[in-house]
Amino acid sequence: MAQANTSQMLKGVLQGCLLMLLADEPSYGYAITQRLNEFGFDTVPKGTIYPLLMTMEKKGLLASTMRASPDGPERKYYHPTPAGLAAKQDFLLDWQILSTNVARIVQLEANHHE
């Protein structure tokens, strides 16, 4: 699949993924990027994550606190707000429906090529 198509699809799910990761463990920008990499999102540009975190905070989905870092200046740690946790649940339900429907269509395509 072309990179541009992958990028467009990813934009629709990245917010939900961030809400799930941050609900699991509050974190800061660089560590969030590293965690996404562990799940195969290593092609997501770092310039995508920071603006998305800021947008999510402005929308009230995330809150942040500054914490001391042993490696230098303080870090901004993000965690979901109650609205963010509700958005996470909505995402999970939407994703389940979407993935089920797409899987059915993919299976239809696979049956045509047998």
pLDDT score of 8: 63
The domain ranges of the chain are 3-112
Q: Taking residues 9-33, what's their average pLDDT?
A: 91
CB contact set of 94 (below 8 Å; sequence gap of 6+): 16
Q: 1: pLDDT confidence band, cut at 50, 70 and 90?
A: very low
| CATH code for residues 3-112 | 1.10.10.10
Convert the pLDDT of each residue in 58-101 to its tens digit. Answer: 999 999 999 998 888 999 999 999 999 999 999 999 999 999 99
* pTM of the predicted structure, to 2 decimals: 0.84
pLDDT score of 70: 87
